[in-house]
Structure 1
Amino acid sequence: MQRSVPVDENIPEYITTGSVAKCVDCFDEVTIGEVAGFDRGVNMILLKTDQADGKTKVTFINLGFVKEFELLKEMPSSTEQSSVTQNVNASKIAKRIEEETERKYRSLCPSTCGVDGRRLFVVIRKTIEDVRWSGDSIEVFQCVLVHPPYTAQSVQIKSTHEGVTQAQSTLEHVKKIVDKFWRGKETSSPDHKGRTAASSEVQPTPKNG
């Protein structure tokens, strides 16, 4: 039986390994997986999911950035699940937690970025790991900035960056991502769909008198 846990009322102090949980973060990204580890002290949960290539992916999630949490399947604490027992080095976990926390802090969007800026940030982050907010601008690889209103024309190389070749390459790549984002947004708009439908209607053939 599914059980939702309101985040503002605190997540349980203990979640049994082998349970299945669903997390929705502040960017509306959904992660569903089997609980491979949980530490209420550092507010982190590890969810593992099986990939199409047969590999297992373990995702570290900082619960401080989770706006929705749900236990889809709760494993009794007395049940032994050998399939989820993992010999994970504690120092490696601590390092990953620190890196993940830092990345999430960098990802926090300012209130002035608007919906388009927030969505574009998520799109860029899907393919580029080194992306963060710099004021209300999106900074990529510490060398390129996407300023409001977040169009391809708003993409610029940081004036303080010295690596011209890398910066120029990043600039062109980011421009393509931004351009694709806006083209996708335009084609999915109701007005565009209405115009497309109207233009596709078959016009009657005029009759000769």
Structure 2
Amino acid sequence: MSTVVSDCFTIGSIVSTKTCYNEEIEGEVLAFDPQSKMLILKCASSSGNPKRNDVNIVNLSLVSDVQIKKEVTGLPDAPQSLNLHRLNTRVRNSIENKKRLVTALSACLDPEGQRLFLAISRVIDDVVWVGQNIRVYNEVTIVPPYKVENVIGDLDSKPYNYIKKFVEKHWRDQREHATTSQHHVAPVVSGSTV
């Protein structure tokens, strides 16, 4: 079924393929594995966005035609160097953040408290559990049952007002979600036959 023009494709070459479904795929070769006969092509974006590309993986065993439109004979440009220090720092910070969240969530058994803690931690890094209390910015505390009236701190401070509004919005969203969920439950009809 396959009429492969080459046993190897050079990275950067432009290749056109016709699948067994008569779909034409044309793009720049990103990679090729001769053993599995898999060709990875970078194609123009199907969304039309010129800053994006589609990546197609083509199984050459399932194509009816392959044509090399433009052969690249030179070596491809070297990839931009990666800032390994920056990447390692991001990985380390991400791991530390996940460990902090796991430790924090295991500190509280109240699911409402855990939901509020997670909501806050998505926006604010400086949030920890102190016993059963949530401590934010080291100056605002939320005590069980974690409602708006349970926010403790300096009433005139910006962090206190921000956290109070955040908790208020969190509970409003929770109520709306619960109301929406109840409306989507199909009614149960029970009956008997005579």
Normalised by the shorter chain, which TM-score bucket?
0.3 to 0.5
Higher Cα Rg: structure 1 or 2? 2
TM-score (norm 2): 0.45
State the TM-score, normalizing by the size of structure 1: 0.42
